[in-house]
Each structure stands twice: as structure tokens, then as C-alpha cells.
Amino acid sequence: MPPLFLRLFQRSLLSILDVIGLSIAYWLAFLFRFEFDIPSSALDLVFINWPYVVATQYLALSIMGVPRMSWRYMTMRDTVRIALAIALSTAVLGLLRIALPLLVGHRLVYIPFGVIAMNCVLAFLALVASRALVRLRGEAIDRERRKPGNATQFNALLIGAGEAGVIVAREIQNRPDLGLKPVGFLDDDRRKIGTSIGGLQVLGTTNDIKEIAEQKRAKRALITIANATGHQIRRITEQCRDAGLETKIIPGIYEIVGDKVNLSRIREVAIEDLLGREPVILDEDIVGSTIRSRVVLITGAGGSIGSELCRQVCRFGPERLILVERYENALFEIHRELTQAFPQVPIEPRIGDVCDEERMLQVFEASKPHVVFHAAAHKHVPMMEWNPGEAVKNNIGGTRVIADLSDRTGVERFVLVSTDKAVNPSSVMGATKRVAEIYLQALSERSSTRFVTVRFGNVLGSAGSVIPIFREQIAKGGPVTVTHPDMTRYFMTIPEASQLVMQAGAMGDGGEIFILDMGSPVKIVDLARDLITLSGLRPDEDIEIRFSGVRPGEKLVEELHADAEHADKTKHPKVFIGRIKPHNWDIVSSAVDVTLDLAQGTDPELIRKALGELVPEFRAVRPSRSSLKTTDRTTDTLPALPAPEITATN
């Protein structure tokens, strides 16, 4: 049978069932009105009015779009629309009841008001009940189909008896293949205790987890609190661990749409959940206007931030996306992922080093980008202390190459991904990123390209960051090494950082340094304890935490902006701005030339001295002298940079 004919047949059949239901409701209304003994004098009245009553009701249903609704997936919203349609038809029938006898003057158009009222209720019940039966039957079939053979069903406690928890409970009950059998809710709102929500009883508060878990023989707990704070998740996770429960969470349940939640996203509680950061809400109009139908080029496209920028940019429909990456494997992986996820976006992978000016010129001339996100950089602080020349070549030289080409080829926007380590830097990495910021600000004064910098702290889970290192140490049984008990850092997730980079880049007019709201700083030792706890172990008992000492170039506390930068709010609540009056272009350009020349040599002390001339606030902390070989090589004198004048802007 052709699909079109089948759909028409099914829709016609459902319409016939609706007409039958409305007819039954009409006849029952008359039967109730006359106590199941309709007098013969009233039968003519029943038969004559039957067609126009049912026709009026079905017309109202059609106006409200009820016949197009799926019976199998009826929701509360559908029920409300049915109620509105029946109410509309009842109002029409009531008006006709008053008007027709006056106009026609015949008793056969006379419908008792009692019949109209009862018909309203019965018609609503008939329509809703028929659809509910179809939905229940469909769910029963789905449960039977999904039921695993002899798989074990684990009793599960649902923590959070709010709207999200009810939706999750209903979906779990319809998914026996998940191996979870919900036995009740836990909620800290004591007013809910003892009540039944969605067919499950609220058994107690989270303080009663251990006792209730033993009573119900629960083996697992599922956190179903929408927008739970990091403190809440941390406390609940610890309580569940003490109760011997395997704890899982459904991330992003604030994104529930249409009373549905994606249960495939059930996972272990992650460190990101414990931070409890609110989701980023982009101003999609502003971001979309700068990316949609534009050619976008991203350097460092295979890195943690670069690859996520690629994913986010593709969402806004660029004309083309150019991926620049020097590591072949990383470029291959992100290109393959993007072409599968966004087949509608033309994506061009380009292998190349941002320090290779000739190759970058080829890429720019061939692609003619409108927007450039420069995420390529050396980022590991201790590694750059041992290799300061490479930090200068990549972070300063690479930025200069890409920025100069952007200016020369007429790029509309250039966004530099910077770091909080550029503020009062104590490391070579931080100092080189600060020089890159200074260079862009000076260049922006003489260019039509809008050069902006976006500065933020650490991102969770990026390659080589503290989280993967801690996980590896925990997997080996410890110890987990933390440099200092008081060391703190700002953290955000990779998607959040990437989205805010795009937001800030779209807002910039040129020359600004945008600073992202990183929330509250987190102690690294607390992060280590949380990861150990999430692994089902006890800090200092099962896994030792050992303090190894601050490494070269590291600060105990990072800063997102210098006091003189006067970071002010922007239109976006998570993006701040501080404008530093640019340095003189000729002085900056000359100083950068000298620093890059020094980077070709082998004397790290001369490189640090050059960085100190460019960034007077740079407080160099050197690695062990025994590992650094210096020479008596002389160098050109660096031009002195004047102290920056600071202005603030909104």
C-alpha cells in the first residue's frame, strides 16, 4: 500500500472514531437527562439535532488542530487543546440554543441546557479516553519489546521529586532495557514526604538515603534535580557513596523539551557537575550575524578549544570553515567528526604551522576568510619554562603572522584566545600571551580589521590539563600529586569557553580585551578530593594526596585582569571588558622583532629579559639552573616601552 494512501486511510479511520465518540457522548447526554428513558416525543428532537451537534463539535476540533495530533504520543498540551475545542463548540451550541427557537420557532431545534452541559463533559472524556488507551497500549508494546531477556533490574532511588524528576521517572518506567526499577523519590522539601508523585512515593529526604536504600534494597541512585548546584551534587554524591549506592546523573535536564528526556545521556557524576556552573546562554542573533554565511578560519583546530570552536561555529551555518592545524592526526579526527555531524557545511582542512608565513599566506589567499579565531598556541606552563624560545616563536611569532595576514587580506574580525596567565605573568607562557595581546592592540589602531582578545582561565578536561592527570593517577592507585594546598584556579567547561569566545568576538569593535566570567576559584586539592570521591574511593584513605611543590612559572592564585584594567560589564552577563590604551606601534613592532630574533638562539635568560622589557610586570621564575645552559652572547638593546595608559569602557 503506498505511504500516502496509508496515511490518508489512517487519518480517516481516526476521524471516524472521533465522530463515533462524539455521537456516543451526545446520546449518553440525552439518556442521562431523561434517566435512560427518553420519551417518544423527544426522540425526533434527538435524531434531528444529532448531525449538527456532532458537526459543530468536529468543526471546533478541526479549528484547534486536534485531528492532526498523534494519538500514540498524546500529552497534557494536547489534552488542553481538546478541552478548548469542546468548550468552543459548547459555547456555540449554547448560543444556537438561545437564538434558533427565536428565529425558527420550532421545538425540534430546542436542545435542553442540561444535555448541552453533560454532552460537553462526556465528549471531552470520550476524546481523551480513546487517545489515552492508544498511548497506554503503545507504551505497553514498547516496554515488552525493550524488555531484556534475563537482565537484572536494579532498584533505583530518584533524588529530586520536581517536574524533571517526574518526567525522568515516567521515561525510566517505559524503558526496562535500562535495567533500572524506580522505587521512590527522595526530596529535601519535607512537604512532599509521603505524597505520591507520578506513581512513586516520596520516601524521605537525602539525609535518609542510607536507611531508605537498605529498606528498599536499592543499588543505584539517579540525580534528577534540574539545575542542581555543584554543592548539592557534591553532598548527594558523598551521601550516596556512604550508602553504597552507584550514583548517576542526567546532565542538562533543564533542556527537557516536550516532556521528554534523553535517557541515553545517563552517566556517572562528573567533575563538571560538582562545579555547578549555570549553562551559557548565547545571544544567538549577534553571534549568528558575524558567522552565518561567512568564511571562518580557525587555527589550532585540532586542539581542545579549537575543535570545540569548530563545532560551535558549524551550528551557525558559515559559508565555509577552514581548519588550520599542524598535527595531521588531530586535523584528521576533527575533520572527520565535523563532516559527519554537519554535512551541509563545506569544511576545508589545511595542514600548516602558524609560524610558517609562506604557508599561511597560501591558506589566506585561497580561502579569503572573513572571521579568524586564533587558538593555536603552546599552553603548558612548566614545559614553556624549559623551552622559552619555542613559546616565543609560537605564541608571539605565530600570532603576529596570522594577525598581519588578517590585516593584509581584509579579514573582518580576528579573535585571539588568550589566558588569565597573561595577567601579571610569572611564566614564559603567560608573558608570551601578554605580548600577543599587546601586539594585537597596537595593530588594531592602524587596521580596518577588528582585533579583539578573549581571556579566560583553565578549561576542564583539555589535553594535558590537571583533570586527565588526576584520573590517570587515581587509576594507578595514587598518589595524586598536588603542587600546593592553597593553589587555586578558575575553571569552566570547554563548550562554555568556546561559546563565550564566540560571544565576545561578535561584540568587539577592535582593541578590546574581553574577560570571561569564570565563577569562583576552585582549590586544586578540593578538585583532587572530588575526583577521588567520584571514583568511589576515599581521599587520604584509599588514595594518598601528596604535595609536590609549586613548579617553575606557576602562581598560587591566578588573576583574570590587572587592577588597572577596570573590567566592566557588557550586555552579556558572563563577558566583561577592559580596554588598555595601546602601546606605540613602532616600538612594539621593533621590540617583537628583537624578541623573535633572540628566540632563534639558545640563551633562555636573554629571552626572559626581552619578555621583561615588553611586559614590565613579568615576574620570571626560572627552572633549576643546572638544566639551563646560558652563554655570554650579547644582544641588541630592546626599545623601552612606555607605561600603559588605562581607560575603561562599557
For the annotated catalytic residues, the residue numbers are 421
The CA distance from 244 to 246, in Å, is 7
Q: What residues have CB less than 8 Å from 585, skipping those under 6 apart?
A: 442, 443, 445, 446
Closest to 430 in 3D by CA, of 518, 588, 582, 562? 562
DSSP letter for each residue of 550-567:
PPTT--SB--SS-GGG--
CB 184 within 8 A of CB 203: yes
Nearest 5°: phi and psi at 201?
-85, 145
Q: Residue 236 is placed in which grid cell?
A: 548527594
CB 298 within 8 A of CB 402: no
Beta bridge partners of 197: 200
Residue 86 CB coordination number (10 Å)? 27
In 409-448, alpha helices (H): 428-444
DSSP structure class, residue 627: G
What totals of helices (H) and strands (E) does the chain contain, helices first? 21, 23
The CA distance from 493 to 479, in Å, is 26
**Beta strands in 288-420, from DSSP E residues, in sequence order:** 295-299, 320-325, 347-351, 371-374, 413-419
The CA distance from 549 to 61, in Å, is 73
Q: What residues have CB less than 8 Å from 645, skipping those under 6 apart?
A: 581
First and final CA of the chain: distance in angstroms?
A: 65
CB 310 within 8 A of CB 334: yes
Q: Please state, in angstroms and as integers, the Cα–Cα distance from residue 426 to each residue in 135, 333, 465, 479, 595, following that order.
A: 64, 35, 19, 28, 18
